[in-house]
Amino acid sequence: MQNDSDVIVVGGGFAGVCAARELSRAGLRTTVLEARDRLGGRTWTRHSTLGRELDIGGTWVHWIQPHVWSEITRYGLDLIASPEPERAYWRIGDDLRSGPADDMLALLDAPMTELLDRARAVLPQPYDYLPKSDELRALDHISVADRIAAQGLDPEQSALFDGMWALNFSGVPKRGAYTQALRWCALAGGDWRLMFEACATYKLAGGTRSLLDAIAADAARTDIRLNTTVTRIREHSGGAEVTCADGTRMRASRVIATIPINVLNRIDFEPPLNHDLHRVAAEGQASTGLKVWIRVRGDTGRFVALADSTAPLNFLQYEYADDGDSLIVGFGPCSDALDFHDPQAVQAELHKWRPDLEVLGVDGHDWTADPLSGETWPMLAPDQLMPVQEAAADISRAVRLAGSDYARGWAGFIDGAIESGLRAARQITTEIECEK
């Protein structure tokens, strides 16, 4: 039977769209099957109910993230900086403290330096796990919470540190692997402040959609089908057959599946996925969090707020002045711990730091409950790094994995999605060329 396409890409987030651009530019017949009614996946720039365009999902990028930076250069896009905070508010249990933002960061400096001091030694080449794989494997059993507990911090540092890693993991630190922390820091040259800057400082002036649209426009010869949910991927001797929810079947010589780990098991793979990856997908990776945008009456001043991982909202950051009001972005480690559709519930959380704030509206999306993501940004739990990396590197099958969850470098970021999309497309293009 003839193939419908050379390559079918399942999922139209950054990984899928980048892969499609590369494949179609290489002259391969490429089809993208996307379940949502839009491209972009876990990035979503949209007009918010709070009155302006906002990034509801992924937002910040940085020049130390080589793949996204190369795309920003390629399409000539501009960045804007998030406002530098002046004041910080932090909670240790019920005890509220505040001071200049630099004072709060200074409290984190010693424990963060100690936590991450082996990052470059353990991952001397952060895109290559082999040089120190034995040490990495040994460390991969440990959660970041176990490692923090061993540091013997005072209550203030302990609360701040727990809160900071809950923010980084978009989940509770006891579920996040210590190797993920080392990985981020190794990619930032061993400098935790640079790592922190990379996570939440610079954003695309036109939102993430400006970059996504530029890449998608370059994939113009791709057949993009929205509202198309894939339910089954069956490999056969000449490639693979994809079945969609409406019963449509399509064949291709290769399939790139860019499905987030936490919803991977919603697709029936035949033969089944590598056993260990199946186990990781069943237990889920560590992110379970929430991101919300909050409109607050008047000028709040440029501030950040932090609390430990037991708080439903444990981090706030001032982002925009808008028509005399302030737009604040908030994060929490467990999306089901707060009804963010209820402005009163959100205000009650803000009042734990600042009783003077009046919430006028809240907007967001529950990515953790969303059946097409099941997670926010991927952060692996202990004992997941090697199975995920091994499955992502498997080129023996017609079905390949790509996506931020499976990236070698900045997994969890837009950069990782782009990296993995480029990698899968290059490999497949070479293979199909050789088969001709």
Ligand X SMILES: Cc1cc2nc3c(=O)[nH]c(=O)nc-3n(C[C@H](O)[C@H](O)[C@H](O)COP(=O)(O)OP(=O)(O)OC[C@H]3O[C@@H](n4cnc5c(N)ncnc54)[C@H](O)[C@@H]3O)c2cc1C
In the complex, the residues that contact ligand X under the rule CB under 6 A are 10-16, 33-36, 41-43, 57-61, 229-230, 258-260, 263, 266-267, 291, 367, 372-373, 376-377, 403-404, 412-415, 417
Residue 169 marked ligand-binding = no
Least CB distance to ligand X at residue 413 (A): 3
- C-alpha 50/C-alpha 48 separation (Å) is 5
Q: Which residue, 139 or 181, is less far from ligand X as judged by CB?
A: 181
Least CB distance to ligand X at residue 124 (A): 24
Q: Which residue, 376 or 429, is less far from ligand X as judged by CB?
A: 376
Give the torsion sign (CA, 51, 53, 350, 311): positive
Q: How far is CA 149 from CA 166, 173, 192, 244, in A?
A: 14, 11, 19, 47
Q: How far is CA 265 from CA 42, 232, 288, in A?
A: 18, 10, 17
- Residues whose CB is less than 8 angstroms from the CB of residue 232 and which lie 6 or more positions away in sequence, other chains included: 242, 243, 267, 268, 269, 270
- Residues whose CB is less than 8 angstroms from the CB of residue 221 and which lie 6 or more positions away in sequence, other chains included: 24, 30
Q: Which residue, 159 or 414, is less far from ligand X as judged by CB?
A: 414
Residue 331 marked ligand-binding = yes
Angle (CA) 305 142 119, round 5°: 70
Least CB distance to ligand X at residue 227 (A): 9
- C-alpha 368/C-alpha 210 separation (Å) is 25
CA-based diameter of the chain, in Å? 69
Q: Which residue, 43 or 45, is less far from ligand X as judged by CB?
A: 43
Least CB distance to ligand X at residue 161 (A): 21
Q: Which residue is nearest to ligand X (CB)?
A: 41
- C-alpha 92/C-alpha 146 separation (Å) is 20
Q: Which residue, 71 or 308, is less far from ligand X as judged by CB?
A: 71
Residue 230 marked ligand-binding = yes
Least CB distance to ligand X at residue 245 (A): 8
Residue 35 marked ligand-binding = yes
Least CB distance to ligand X at residue 70 (A): 14
Q: Which residue, 111 or 416, is less far from ligand X as judged by CB?
A: 416
Least CB distance to ligand X at residue 208 (A): 7
Token look-up 């990782």 returns 416
- C-alpha 366/C-alpha 201 separation (Å) is 23
φ/ψ of 142, rounded to 5, equals -95, 140
Q: Which residue, 36 or 209, is less far from ligand X as judged by CB?
A: 36
- C-alpha 429/C-alpha 435 separation (Å) is 10
Binding-site entries for substrate: 331
Binding-site entries for FAD: 34-35, 230
Binding-site entries: 34-35, 230, 331
